[in-house]
């Protein structure tokens, strides 16, 4: 019993440490849902679960010695939030940047939310893989259960922040630029921190 509690505590620490930035993404998604109705709250929650499940599955596969996506190229996933952010920014420019009080629906459905979750957490695989490689089946099941519970907590936190009066007040003033800007910055950080740009240049 003590071992399982220790495993749960470790799993909680691992999840929290690798998903702090997800709170920001979820808040932006819920703000977008509140302003434009896209993505819908159920799509955000389901997409977040689908993305986390994909990351866990890829980590489990990697723990078995199989590599689905080579580590040196995983940073290319950052192109997804970057592309979504640029698309949203283009919408603001086309509208003349006058849509004050509205934030563009950068991610519009379940698949795009799941894709952003995977892209944002792609580097988590390198953390989750050794965890799954070194623990047995009971501990793995506990870890997955803790991840599932904390995903719900993360979604609830994002929804709360996305409905907080002070956050809404700020978004009503800058929201039409803030949402795509967050996605653009997220994509750039993922791509640049992965070092994939240098590897691509080496191929040229």
C-alpha 133/C-alpha 127 separation (Å) is 11
* Predicted local distance difference test score (pLDDT) of residue 67: 57
* Predicted local distance difference test score (pLDDT) of residue 172: 57
Lowest mean pLDDT among 60-69, 122-131, 133-142: 60-69
Range of 20's domain?
2-203
Average pLDDT, the chain: 79
Q: Return the CA Rg of the chain.
A: 18
Does 92 sit behind a cis peptide bond, omega within 30 degrees of 0 on the bond before it? no
Which position has the higher pLDDT, 36 or 15? 15
Average pLDDT over residues 153-171: 80
Max Cα-Cα span within the chain: 61
Beta-carbon contacts of 74 under 8 Å, excluding residues fewer than 6 positions away, are 122, 123, 125, 194, 196
Q: For 49-106, how does the pLDDT look when each residue is reduced to its tens digit (9 = 90+)?
A: 999 999 999 888 888 776 555 666 666 777 877 887 787 777 767 766 544 444 455 6
Residue 150 in this model has a pLDDT that exceeds 80: yes
pTM over the 0.85 mark = no
* Predicted local distance difference test score (pLDDT) of residue 27: 87
Q: How many domains does the chain have?
A: 1
Asked whether 47 and 112 are in contact (CB, 8 A), the reply is yes
CB environment 126-154: b (16+ within 10 A), e (fewer): eebbebbeebeeebbebbbebbeebbeeb
* Predicted local distance difference test score (pLDDT) of residue 50: 95
Residue 29 in this model has a pLDDT that exceeds 50: yes
Continuous segment of H or E residues that includes residue 117: helix 110-120
**Six-digit token string for 103:** 């934030």
């Amino acid at each position: 019993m003590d071992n399982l509690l220790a495993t749960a505590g470790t799993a909680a620490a691992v999840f929290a440490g690798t998903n702090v930035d997800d709170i920001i993404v979820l808040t932006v998604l819920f703000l977008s849902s509140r302003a434009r109705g896209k993505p819908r709250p159920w799509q955000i929650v389901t997409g977040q679960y689908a993305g986390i499940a994909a990351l866990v599955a890829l980590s489990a596969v990697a723990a078995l010695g199989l590599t689905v996506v080579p580590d040196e190229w995983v940073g290319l996933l950052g192109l997804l939030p970057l592309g979504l952010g640029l698309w949203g920014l283009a919408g603001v420019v086309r509208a003349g940047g006058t849509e004050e009080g509205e934030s563009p629906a950068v991610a519009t459905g379940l698949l795009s939310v799941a894709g952003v979750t995977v892209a944002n957490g792609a580097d988590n695989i390198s953390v989750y893989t050794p965890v799954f490689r070194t623990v047995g089946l009971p501990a793995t099941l506990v870890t997955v259960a803790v991840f599932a519970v904390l995903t719900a907590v993360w979604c609830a936190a994002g929804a709360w922040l996305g409905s907080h009066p002070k956050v809404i007040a700020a978004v009503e003033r800058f929201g039409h630029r803030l949402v795509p800007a967050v996605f653009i910055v997220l994509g750039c950080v993922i791509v640049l921190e992965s070092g994939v740009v240098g590897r691509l240049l080496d191929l040229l």
